[in-house]
Amino acid sequence: MEDEIYMAEALHLAKNGIGRTSPNPMVGAVIVKDGRIIASGWHRKAGTPHAEIHALNMAGELARDATIYVTLEPCAHFGKTGPCTDALIKAGVRRVVVAMLDPNPLVSGKGIEKLRTAGLEITLGVLEDEAKKLNKVFCKWVSTGFPFVILKTAMTLDGKIATKDGESKWITGEAARERVHELRDRVDAIFVGIGTVLADNPSLTTRISGGIGKNPIRVILDSAAKIPLDAKVLTDKAAKTIVAVSERASRERVREILNTGAEVVTAGEDRVDLKALLKILGEREITSVLIEGGGEVNFSFAREKLFDRIYAFVAPKILGGGLSKSAFGGDGFDKLSNAAVLENTEIEKLGEDLLIRADRKKD
């Protein structure tokens, strides 16, 4: 029970890194001696000291013969920083309590093995489920090479995202829109289709009170390279923009887009191959993406089973009409047995709207 109390504090500290540590995981550490916490730390940003190092620096000589609680297996390899295992051994820590092993198949277990070989007492698996949930984005990316995909949609009670004429501002209220900006602040990239750019000319930036939001990379799905050269995502320089095209895109048009300072990625022959694009982005250490597309883009990700979690903001409004824009377009699934099934559903009230969060049930 005592181990769980201290590990819960370490997990709480780790959350301070939400949206800031990519491509690294969020990690928290607490050092305990004689029944009290003497030091703590969390990982703040990739390339900076890890949580264990912050805690050891705070503890100083008091770390000798102490117990450290850390939410992820300490690293045993050299990266942008040195191995945390070496620092723990050098500091004279007696016991290490770890929530979960590093999910990276190339390093998993090596940190624990090194610490045990050095004579440190190891306890593994304390609040493991909570630790895995906290770092679900990192766990997917480091084990598969693909980013974690969040599909977000704002719709009426009858599943409409716009009128037949395309009017969509604003279906949901202010509280729901604020939550969307919090989501943007946490992810590495935003996806929209070219239809959204042509209809709304969005900036796709993060607007949070106090101006503390982080602007993610903007990815535009544009098979034929039709994006206007004066689109905000190409001209405002607020964040990096990647335009994803297919092989049928005009080379001259691609050069014009490149001249704006944007990057162009080719994936797929006639249409953008979403899976291939996600793989390319994963290789570039983009660990999470937020899909903010229209019905066609949404259904493409659902049909190909490429999203991991959905955030559905539902407003107490009814649009009706067969020509109103639906949250999921395309041809639809031909059988109920083929439908995308959700699990782990959570419901939250945001003003007059509802937010439904759920995970896609894996096959």
Q: How far is CA 53 from the centre of its chain?
A: 25
Angle, alpha carbons 342-347-348 (nearest 5°): 145
CA 92, CA 120: separation in Å to the nearest integer? 9
Residue type, 4: E
Burial string for 331-351 (b: 16+ CB within 10 Å, else e) reads eeeeeeeeebeeeeeeeeebe
Question: How far separated are the first and last CA of the chain, in Å rounded?
Answer: 36
Q: How many CA atoms lie within 13 A of 98 on its CB side?
A: 22
Find residue 123's DSSP bridge partners: 97
Burial string for 223-244 (b: 16+ CB within 10 Å, else e) reads bebbbeeebbbbeeeebebbbb
Beta strands 353-360; 309-315: pairing state: antiparallel
Phi, psi of 165 (to 5 degrees): -95, 5
CA 300, CA 244: separation in Å to the nearest integer? 15
Do the beta carbons of residue 177 and residue 336 sit within 8 Å? no
CA 28, CA 15: separation in Å to the nearest integer? 8
CA 323, CA 295: separation in Å to the nearest integer? 13
Do the beta carbons of residue 14 and residue 33 sit within 8 Å? no
Catalytic pick among 52, 128, 130, 182: 52
9 an active-site residue?
A: no
Tell me the two tokens of residue 95.
């016991």
Active site amino acids = 52
